[in-house]
Amino acid sequence: MDRLYLEGPCTVSGEIDVQGAKNSVLPILAGALLTDQQIVLTNCPDIRDVRATFQILKYLGCSVDYDNGVAVICAAGMNRSEIPDALMREMRSSIMLLGAILGRMGTARLGFPGGCELGPRPIDLHISSLRRLGVTFLEEHGFLDCTAAKLHGADIHLALPSVGATENILLLACVTPGTTRIFNAAKEPEIEDLQNFLNAMGAKITGAGGSTITIEGVEKLHGAEYRIMPDRIVTVSYLAAAAISGGEILVRKACPPHVISVTSLLEESGCEIEMAGEDIRLRRRGPIEAVKQIRTMPYPGFPTDALAPIMAYLTLAQGTSIFYESIFQNRYKHVEELLRMGANIKVEGRVAIVEGVKKLTGASLVATDLRGGMALLIAGIAAEGETEITEVSLVERGYEHMVRNFSSLGVKIREG
């Protein structure tokens, strides 16, 4: 899809099921490389990053079948350990394949990952962590040549709770002899999902969701069937879309505890939220009220991926909201596009000050990254007139069937 057109304002109302989590399925797909037996993944989202990962798995020699949310992968025929630069550049999460390829093949050669340009995301922490397990690295001509000749368990103290580094360690350490402990591990729900998947394959991992994870290496993993957890950022995006429009939505097949840091903010801004089992119901009871301060933090804090969608929502708030981005340097690239719509936002370094305005106006916009693009879609729902969004492929990296899903909720949206 090249572009989207929205005619606003619209009222988002109805019911919608949440897709499987982008940030969970990608490392889990990497984990499928660690066995020569069949892996079956249900609730696997139909998004560009998943399709790009399928291409990499096929290049490595795996068989991949996908239909209606079910992926069947078998790495019995895996015969390569190098990922071409063109495939690596498709997405930043491709670095997740490093630990899994090393665990299966003993060597790996890959370029540096691509994806959204959110500022420096150095892979030094991945390298230093895997080096503790016995991996050697040689960098030349933009490629990493990696060798895992004598792997062993180790204690690894992460300088910061990196989700990617934690996942790469899990993928390699689960098939590495000895005991590995990760200190200051990332606590995100996606880490728990990866642990549960690997344990379903026969791994021995405990502690995910906490700051210390223990991995007892096993000699071999086996096939498994596993359901991907719901996507918490997609959940938040649907809630924000309904909230900005003044509608009422029931988001089903979600995981309410994963999004409390955001739903509490939505309640503070004037929304009524009910949670029951896997359902979240939102309705807005009056004008949007500004939120004094939003600071992105590692889980269980406010997620950096939710910043742009929630900022779009608060552009129409009464009063001033202040955002502080503590994770990425370039998370505000969408702001310039929101300004075209009449938003009043000032950015200085990692701080963004959002002065609420009475209305937004449709405009021709460019999606700057995955979450920023969704922010533009949310703003377009409430804007007066037509909004055109180009570079929509960036948004398709994490959101499936956007036209169909938002149309079902009452949004006047079409692809160009």
pLDDT digits 0-9 by tens, 65-88: 999 999 999 999 999 999 888 888
The stretch 182-191 carries a mean pLDDT of 98
Q: How far apart are CA 92 and CA 73, in angstroms?
A: 22
Which of 89-103, 326-340, 395-409 has the lowest average pLDDT? 89-103
Q: What is the pLDDT of residue 91?
A: 67
Dihedrals phi, psi of 293, to nearest 5 degrees: -150, 135
Q: Can you name the residues that pair with 327 across neighbouring β-strands?
A: none
Q: Is the pLDDT of residue 117 over 70?
A: no
330 marked ligand binding residue: no
Q: What confidence category does residue 353 fall into, taking pLDDT thresholds of 50, 70 and 90?
A: very high
Q: Which residue has the higher pLDDT, 142 or 277?
A: 277
389 is known to lie in a ligand binding site: no
Q: In this predicted model, what pLDDT tens digit does every residue of 290-314 receive, in sequence order?
A: 999 999 999 999 999 999 999 999 9
3-18+230-415 and 22-227: identical CATH topology:
yes
pLDDT value of residue 328: 81
80 is in an annotated binding site: no
Tell me: pLDDT of 243 over 80: yes
Is the pLDDT score of 263 beyond 80? yes
Average pLDDT estimate for 247-271: 98
- The SS3 call for residue 349 is coil
Which helix (H) or strand (E) segment holds residue 125: the answer is helix 124-132
pLDDT class for 93, splitting at 50, 70, 90?
Answer: low
Please check the confidence at residue 114 and state whether its pLDDT lies above 70: no
Kindly state which CATH superfamily the domain 22-227 is placed in. Enolpyruvate transferase domain (3.65.10.10)
Quick one: pLDDT band at residue 213, thresholds 50, 70, 90? very high
How far, CA to CA in Å, does 346 sit from each of 9, 323, 343?
Answer: 25, 10, 10
If we measure between CA atoms, which residue out of 37, 22, 24, 20 comes closest to residue 72? 37
Asked whether residue 98 is marked as a ligand-binding residue, the answer is: no
The 8 Å CB, 24+ separation contacts for 80-83 are 81/105, 81/106, 81/107, 81/108, 81/109, 82/108, 82/109, 82/110, 83/56, 83/59, 83/108, 83/109, 83/110, 83/111
What pLDDT does residue 92 have? 62
The predicted structure's pLDDT at residue 54:
96
Residue among 44, 116, 174, 271 flagged as catalytic: 116
> Contact at 8 Å (CB) between 109 and 81?
yes
Q: What is the pTM of this model?
A: 0.95
Is 305 annotated to bind ligand? yes
Mean of per-residue pLDDT scores for the chain: 94
Domains of the chain, by residue range, sit at 3-18+230-415, 22-227
Confidence of residue 332 (pLDDT cuts 50, 70, 90): very high
Report, as an integer, the average pLDDT of 123-130.
91
CA distances from 195 to 181, 189, 363 (A): 14, 10, 44
Q: Let me know if 271 is a catalytic residue.
A: no
Q: Taking Cα atoms as reference points, which of 374, 36, 26 lies closest to residue 228? A: 26
Amino acid 119: pLDDT? 43
Q: Is 92 annotated as a binding residue?
A: yes
Judge whether 124 is annotated as a binding position: yes
CATH class of 3-18+230-415: alpha beta
Q: How far apart are alpha carbons 68 and 46 in whole angstroms?
A: 8
pLDDT exceeds cutoff 60 at 339: yes
Annotated ligand binding at 285? The verdict is no
Q: Is 79 annotated as a binding residue?
A: no
